[in-house]
Structure 1
Amino acid sequence: MSKNLRMQGGDFTSPGGYFVTICTKRMRPVFGTVVNGHMHLNDAGNVADAFWREIPEHFPHVIVDEHVVMPDHVHGLLHIPTASKAHSPTACRGGMEAFGKPVPGSSPTVIRSYKSAVSRALGQKFWHPRFYEVRARDERAIANIRRYIRENPAN
């Protein structure tokens, strides 16, 4: 039985903040190096960073907050400020994803698209197949997540 890394039964289209961590396979350093507590992106890292910033161009309802591209993973905070179209009566199970039925506008769909775009641009598949996602409970949690992301290269 495989371990699910996201909250069971969660609705990942509902309004709120989502802290996402996406790792490379076998934690292979693909995106650059950390030197003296500062991340130095290589060409692949610049692509990963640029594509993260472009998420709202492809998913206009998503707001990109704090993020950092590290050598072997990406941390990001995404906000879905209002209920997406996935909450329409025709949406799959009220906005909840089912195997083979991605929900438009859900955070898993956004992350899948991001990973696919970066892989296509770099001409290789290097992502771990899953990702970690935590729903921010309140403004205090969001502030803590932002600080964690900003301080990640130094740690």
Structure 2
Amino acid sequence: MEKLPKRKNIRIKDYDYSQNGYYFITICTKDRENLFWEEEYIINFGIGDLVLTNIGEIIKRGINDINNHYKNVKVHKYVIMPNHIHLILVLEGEMPKSPSVPRVIQQLKGIITKKVGFSIWQRSFYDQIIRNEKQYEEIWNYIDTNPLKWNEDKYYL
């Protein structure tokens, strides 16, 4: 029997993702399918106001619910793109009461999948630990300007 390729772990080895900190998260759709913006807006990019699809609206509610669901986890900023989302996730408070970043993302993806009725997500997610205020501001600005640069985005199809 042929050996299956080993899946690369994209998390930092031995890092405790339940410790207090700031995290930049990117979650993509399966096959980078454009599911979150109305097709008309993607085709006529930049003309008129952005309109989220029903799935995009479910994601928006799910992200906003993180702040209500977890005592020690907050979303400081997010953007919903056509085929991915970016967010700044903050874990703060008494340890070990905070859930880990992977657990929060797993629950978010699971709740959204259940409400949508089918799987929309790429396996796993990307994260970057935000280490200082300068990096935080750069990521904040990136999230702010990301929709304006959709045609240049590396996730653009």
TM-score (norm: length of structure 1): 0.83
Tell me the equivalent position of 1:49: 60
- Structure number, greater radius of gyration: 2
Q: Are 1:6 and 1:134, in contact at CA under 8 Å, matched by a contact in 2?
A: no
Alignment equivalent of 1:66, drawn from 77, 86, 92: 77
Which runs of no fewer than 5 residues in structure 1 stay unpaired?
87-103
Alignment equivalent of 2:148, drawn from 141, 148, 154: 154
Residues 19-58 of structure 1 correspond to what in structure 2 (within 5 A)? 19-33=24-38, 34=42, 35-36=45-46, 39-58=50-69
Percent identity at matched positions? Answer: 30
TM-score (norm: length of structure 2): 0.82
RMSD over aligned Cα atoms: 1.6
Give how far 1:129 is off.
1.2
Residues 123-134 of structure 1 correspond to what in structure 2 (within 5 A)? 123-134=117-128
Tell me the equivalent position of 1:3: 8
Which runs of no fewer than 5 residues in structure 2 stay unpaired?
1-5, 150-157
Residues 106-117 of structure 1 correspond to what in structure 2 (within 5 A)? 106-117=100-111
Point out the structure with the larger strand share.
1
1:65-109, Cα deviation, whole Å (9 max, x unpaired): 1100111111000111234325xxxxxxxxxxxxxxxxx611100
1:108-150, Cα deviation, whole Å (9 max, x unpaired): 0000000000010111111011100111001111111111111
SS in 1 for 2:144: helix
Tell me the equivalent position of 1:89: none
Q: Are 1:21 and 1:75, in contact at CA under 8 Å, matched by a contact in 2?
A: yes
